Amino acid sequence: MGAYNSSFSKRANAHLLPVMQEKYLPAAIEQAAQAHWHATRAFNASEDISKPKYYCLSMFPYPSGKLHMGHVRNYTIGDVLTRSHKMRGYNVLQPMGWDAFGLPAENAAIQNNVPPAKWTDDNIAYMKQQLKSLGFALDWERELATCKPDYYKWNQWLFLRMLEKGIAYKKTQVVNWDPVDQTVLANEQVIEGRGWRTGALVEKREIPGYYLAITQYADELLTALDTLPGWPERVKTMQANWIGKSTGVRFAFPYELPAAGGTNLPSPLAGEGQGGEGSAGRGKLWVFTTRPDTIMGVTFCAVAAEHPLATHAAKNNPELAAFIEECKHGSVMEADMATMEKKGMPTGIFVEHPLTGAKVEVWVGNYVLMSYGDGAVMGVPAHDERDFAFAKKYGLPIKQVVALAGEAFSLEAWAEWYADKQRGVCVNSGKYDGLDYAAATEAIAADLAAKGLGEKKVQFRLRDWGVSRQRYWGCPIPLIHCESCGSVPVPDDQLPVVLPEDCVPDGAGNPLNKRADFLNCACPKCGKPAARETDTMDTFVDSSWYYARYCAANAMTAMVDARTDYWMPVDQYIGGIEHAILHLLYSRFWTKVMRDLGLVSYDEPFANLLTQGMVLNHIFSRRSDRGGIIYYAPEEVELVRDAAGHVTGATAKADGLPVDYGGVGTMSKSKRNGVDPQSLIEQYGADTARFFMMFASPPEQTLEWSDSGVEGAYRFLKRVWACGHALKSQAAAKEAGALRREIHLLLKQANYDLGKLQFNTVASACMKMLNALEKAPADPHAREAFSILLRVLSPIAPHITHALWIELGYGPDILAATWPEPLDAALVQDEEELVLQVNGKLRGALRVKVGADRTAIEAVALATEAAQKFMEGKPAKKVIVVPGRLVNIVV
């Protein structure tokens, strides 16, 4: 046990609790409860068909060093669900593991000269202790780490299956290239177009890499979203938009190039494609459009800088070559592509309009992506906003081909309706004049098809998943490169290809390239000396199936087994909204591949999804003399208040001078606004941390950190303890009051909110129950009320409730107690209060017998003093009675 835990152990000598302590001592209580759970193997799950199963999973953490508050929040949400389902009789599985490959380990290696493997293992050991001290109901016997060979072996195995099925394949990819370090950079390593270490201008470079054909599953990934009612609508919308199914026409502009200097066009990229048809300079420029009705309005075409036509045109055009070079220095990120200035340059190449035969000039555009579609687009400036801006900028012709009744077209400024698909009809389009979108699409597609120059096509925005990473700390791609046999898969019986664990990356390329013992091997086909692939897999591969491995974590001879089909799908998955698209989409894809290989029988991995919001804290900063920004941690700052107590500013404790308040933002090292869960646990205990996290805001929203909010949570738990202490010694006697009905009403609300996963109001219901109990300590139903409070509170604050349950003699283990349900008998009442409104304004209240009919209620309402006063003698036009709620008199 590390030093961080010593203060804990010293105080933890109260396992037996001979007499109930008057004071709430979280450290002792929590250690005792955790020891009990460990000794009884309370959370180790096994398959049991006599109970309904509940697989509760939180996204596993990257072992960055220590837990952050986002983890605490994420895992507390999962724990509340796990524990409440356990008490409701489910067979519950809640496992934990480590997303252990990734870039930060390499960065740490560069900084501290430690091998990523050691750094990662140390971090895991520390964070595991932290998770244990939070009292999560985790099955630690299923723990896994993706950097261990017994896990990533199956990444490799499945990759080879995908290769066999043609799902995995090789093609070129565009990467960020640091010319000084001679290495590939991640997007986050590119800062303002320069390498993070070298400051060198980053280039786009095309290198070979492996792809997974997720697009083969695009349709199913889209339509199957409808089978996921337990997913937030917004996540499904984001995924649907990401997949981006669009129907349109793929068509070609034929061309014939003069055989300039005897050079041929470069060979096509793949199959029937770009610029490829005809070696004597005849070819077709393919594009895709969702607006085939505007093809008659094409006045130019634009191709990507990497497009073969651009390459061809640049050969005798140094200016164009320079422009293409400039484009290659840009970012590879879509966000940058979208916001940068749209630039272009003519190639001097003309293609032929497929319908009119007119000459159309080809431009190179920096906004056209080679990796999307055919790497070329048609330009219809009159009906596409971006094309309009481009044409205006370069003086290209604009030809209106769609008109809307009553709307005038102007070349001066763009108007929304120019792009309206629904209402326009074709004009200036010859035989297509007068046709609407649908009819024009049909007619034009038919004409293009007749000429062999196009067809209707469904296209997806989704691109295949590039999984090659030119990095060390990842799962090796199981391939061997042989001079005579080419790329050869590593045979199954030689898996896993084990990553050497003693490398220390230095930032200049992948260290595997320097490791002879890794690199050198025999070709599995011909036996001659060959070289191993040194690229590793994207870490999203690791996280695409870990949830399935938990179910059969100790399976030695298979990736998954029958136990996986017992537990899967995950009944509740919980994680950050930032994973809404990539991780969740890749996992869904991976599941479908595993299903099609006969490995599993389910179609979707996650039945229900909860995307939790981030944890924010206040940001304080000051401009430094040199113009930089110095951040102050919240504990280094004193808030300045006015007489009314409103915060008006802040000063640094160090020098008393003002600092700037920057609002709230995600907790981060760089802004120095993180809060360490460890110190929180040491000061207040895990229950306080958990309770605050659940109470402060609903799970899907951001959570603002508040030290005084934590104090409040602690205060509440102290009161719960005191209430239990008082109840233990005290004999209830007095006549029953309203306590029972109140508690059961609150219970009803709490159960409803729990079902909605709205834990903040469950926590608040617990507080209301305590408030009620404290007002009626001698009520004969106080013990029953307290037992309800303890059980509702136990998933959130499991340690204190565990101790009090035993102390008050409710039973040996609160985990074995049944979840409380409100009793109808406790809820009945014979009168109820209704709100009285006159003209929709609140004017009073009235009491009526429960179940009274409308006319009776109306009569009572009209007779009230308040009604008489505000009706001012006017007759009631209308009386609206909402049973159980209100009466509104309209005059």
Please give the residues from 533 up to 592 whose contact with RNA meets the rule CB under 7 A: 538-540, 543, 577-583
Neighbours of 472 (CB within 10 A): 25
Are the C-beta atoms of 699 and 612 separated by less than 8 Å?
yes
Q: Are 887 and 852 in contact (CB under 8 A)?
A: no
Under the criterion CB under 7 A, does residue 847 sit at the interface with RNA? no
Identify which of 491, 599, 508, 496 has the alpha carbon closest to the alpha carbon of residue 545.
Answer: 599
* Per-residue buried b or exposed e for 100-109, using 16+ beta carbons within 10 Å of the residue's own CB: bbbbbbbbbb
Exposed e or buried b per residue across 346-381, where buried means at least 16 C-beta atoms within 10 angstroms of its C-beta: bbebbbbbbbeeeebbbbbbbbbbbeebbbbbbbbb
Is residue 432 a contact partner of residue 339, using CB atoms and an 8 Å limit? no
Name the residue nearer to RNA (CB basis): 100 or 444: 100
Nearer to RNA, 43 or 388 (CB): 388
**Which 260-279 positions form the footprint of RNA (CB under 7 A)?**
none
Minimum Å gap between C-beta 106 and RNA is: 8
Report the nearest approach of RNA to the CB of residue 468 (Å).
Answer: 6
x/- string (CB under 7 A) for RNA, residues 364-383?
A: --------x-----------
Does 665 engage in binding with RNA (CB under 7 A)? yes
Which of these ranges, 312-320, 499-507, 521-529, 643-651, lies near RNA under the rule CB under 7 A?
A: 643-651
Q: Which two tokens stand for residue 754?
A: 């729990």
Taking CB under 7 A as the criterion, the residue among 5, 17, 42, 104 binding RNA is: 104
Comparing CB distances to RNA, the nearer of 275 and 381 is: 381
Cα diameter, the chain = 108
The residue from 556, 841, 872, 873 that contacts RNA (CB under 7 A) is: 841
Phi-psi category of residue 81: left, alpha or beta, with phi > 0 → left and psi -120 to 50 → alpha: alpha
Q: Which tokens belong to 724?
A: 């239990």
421 near RNA, judged by CB under 7 A: no
Of 301 and 584, the one with the shorter C-beta distance to RNA is 584
- Comparing CB distances to RNA, the nearer of 34 and 837 is 837
What mask, x for binding RNA by CB under 7 A, covers residues 202 to 221? Answer: -------x------------
CB atoms within 10 A of CB 691: 28
708 forms part of the interface with RNA (CB under 7 A): yes
- In whole angstroms, the minimum distance from the beta carbon of 863 to RNA comes to 18
Q: Which is nearer to RNA, 18 or 229 (CB)?
A: 229
> Which is closer to RNA, CB of 76 or CB of 173?
173
Smallest separation (angstroms) from RNA to the CB of 618: 10
* Binding string, residues 727-766; x marks residues near RNA by CB under 7 A: ----------------------x--xx----x-xx--x--
Under the binding rule (CB under 7 A), the answer on residue 641 touching RNA is yes
| Short-list 645, 636, 641, 644, CA closest to 618 | 636
**Can you name the residues that pair with 47 across neighbouring β-strands?**
none
Among residue numbers 495 through 534, which ones bind RNA (CB under 7 A)? none
Of 109-117, 274-282, 651-659, 694-702: span binding RNA (CB under 7 A): 694-702
Q: Is 196 in the site for RNA (CB under 7 A)?
A: no
Q: Are 124 and 64 in contact (CB under 8 A)?
A: no
Q: Is 338 in the site for RNA (CB under 7 A)?
A: yes
Give the Cα separation of 467 and 243 in Å (integer): 18
Q: How far is the CB of 402 from RNA (least distance, A)?
A: 20
- 317 binding RNA? (CB under 7 A): no
**Residue with Cβ nearer RNA (429 or 794):** 794
Between 34 and 591, name the residue whose CB sits nearer to RNA: 591
* Cα Rg, the chain, nearest whole Å: 34
Residue 99 is a binding residue for RNA (CB under 7 A): yes
Q: Which of 42, 110, 238, 427 binds RNA (CB under 7 A)?
A: 238
What residues contact 586, with CB distance under 8 A and at least 6 apart?
A: 214, 465, 540, 541, 543, 544
Rounded CA separation 691/677 (Å): 13
695 scored as a contact of RNA (CB under 7 A): yes
The whole-angstrom separation of Cα 607 and Cα 508 is 43
CA–CA separation, 412 and 343 (whole Å): 20
Quick one: which of 644, 657, 731, 733 contacts RNA (CB under 7 A)? 644
CB 770 to RNA: min, Å = 7
- Dihedral sign for Cα atoms in the order 400, 406, 411, 415: negative
Strands 95-98 and 139-145: parallel
Residues 280-309 that bind RNA (CB under 7 A): none
Angle at which helices 798-807 and 707-729 cross, to 10°:
10
Indicate the residue among 48 and 660 with the shorter CB distance to RNA: 660
Q: How many residues bind RNA (CB under 7 A)?
A: 102
Q: Which helix (H) or strand (E) holds 196?
A: none
